[in-house]
Amino acid sequence: MFQKDEYCILILGLDNAGKTTFLEQTKTKFSKNYKGMSLSKITTTVGLNIGTIDVGKARLMFWDLGGQEELQSLWDKYYAESHGVIYVIDSTDEGRLSESKEAFEKMISSEALEGVPLLVLANKQDVPDCMSVPDIKTAFSDCAPKIGKRDCLVQPCTALTGDGVNEAQYQSQEALVLKQLAQKRKHMQEVLHKAHEENNFSEKPEGKLIQKMEGNWEAHLSALKQRLHEKASPPILG
Ligand SMILES: Nc1nc2c(ncn2[C@@H]2O[C@H](COP(=O)(O)OP(=O)(O)OP(=O)(O)O)[C@@H](O)[C@H]2O)c(=O)[nH]1
Ligand SMILES: [Mg+2]
């Protein structure tokens, strides 16, 4: 039977950033016949909202967590299970941008999220004079070393109207494919190295195999990255 690839995506960010609005908007856009709650009726999340959508061959399961300070300590319970993180920023709230950056830095410092692709949404772009994507990138620029080799994209978004929501989903799906490839590659290498050790080969038999595999993998990866970057504003890391 045909089974979809399933991915868990965390939606994180400070309270009032627009995470639940984004999730509801996403469900409305991607699920036929979904009659969502009125967006104006959404109140602060105490606990967790879950939503599932199908995009192409992938099934994305979103976990939208509460962003209030005392709820942020619960975020890391979900890290180990997640394949991607969408981090939502309120672009109208310059006063809390440094607080948001601190929460972001703490999150990406967690070992459990190593290598997990990140999608940063500069939300509420409908509000005049809000911070732009370049403004937010500048403010977050010193996070680059901590982001490391992870894929990290910053996208403008208006969860309330749905602008940018399709692109956001597209990006996260592509980023997840990258993650999956990276994991496969790591696994293959581990298997090959183990085989080498167990058989005590005098010559490294896996050398060529890994080279071949890496050749394919790199080609696939760069093609995906190309597509990703064509559709998105440049990632934090060039
Ligand atoms: N103008 C504007 N307002 C938005 C947008 N997205 C969300 N909001 C508003 O921002 C407020 C907070 O939205 P929520 O979705 O509840 O925020 P949250 O991040 O889930 O907050 P917590 O659950 O407390 O962590 C609500 O009043 C939303 O209507 C947007 O794109 N534009
Ligand atoms: Mg919420």
25 in ligand 1 pocket by Cβ < 6 Å? Answer: no
- The DSSP result for 164-214, as a single string, is THHHHHHHHHHHHHHHHHHHHHHHHHHHHHHHHHHHT-SS-THHHHHHHHH
Cα(12)–Cα(27) distance, integer angstroms: 17
Non-local CB neighbours of 228 within 8 Å, separated by 6+ positions: 151, 153, 171, 174, 175, 178
pLDDT score, position 18: 98
Cα(38)–Cα(43) distance, integer angstroms: 11
Tens-place pLDDT, residues 22-73: 999 999 988 888 887 899 999 999 989 999 998 777 788 999 999 999 999 9
Cα(77)–Cα(52) distance, integer angstroms: 20
State which ligand 1 atom lies nearest to the alpha carbon of 42.
16
pLDDT score, position 115: 83
180 in ligand 1 pocket by Cβ < 6 Å? Answer: no
Pocket test for ligand 1, best of 160, 161, 165 (most atoms within 8 A of CB): 160
Catalytic (active-site) positions: 68
Cα(175)–Cα(235) distance, integer angstroms: 12
Q: Domain ranges in the chain?
A: 5-167, 172-230
- The DSSP result for 70-134, as a single string, is HHHTTGGGGGGG-SEEEEEEETT-GGGHHHHHHHHHHHHT-GGGTT--EEEEEE-TTSTTPPPHH
Cα(69)–Cα(46) distance, integer angstroms: 11
Domain covering 5-167, topology: Rossmann fold (3.40.50)
Residues with pLDDT less than 70, the chain? 1-3, 185, 189, 192, 195-196, 198-238
Pocket test for ligand 1, best of 21, 40, 41, 107 (most atoms within 8 A of CB): 21
Nearest-5° Cα angle at 36, 34 to 42: 160
pTM for the model stands at 0.81
pLDDT score, position 160: 95
Whose alpha carbon is nearest atom 13 of ligand 1?
18
66 in ligand 1 pocket by Cβ < 6 Å? Answer: yes
pLDDT score, position 63: 96
Q: What is the largest distance, in Å, between two alpha-carbon atoms of the chain?
A: 68
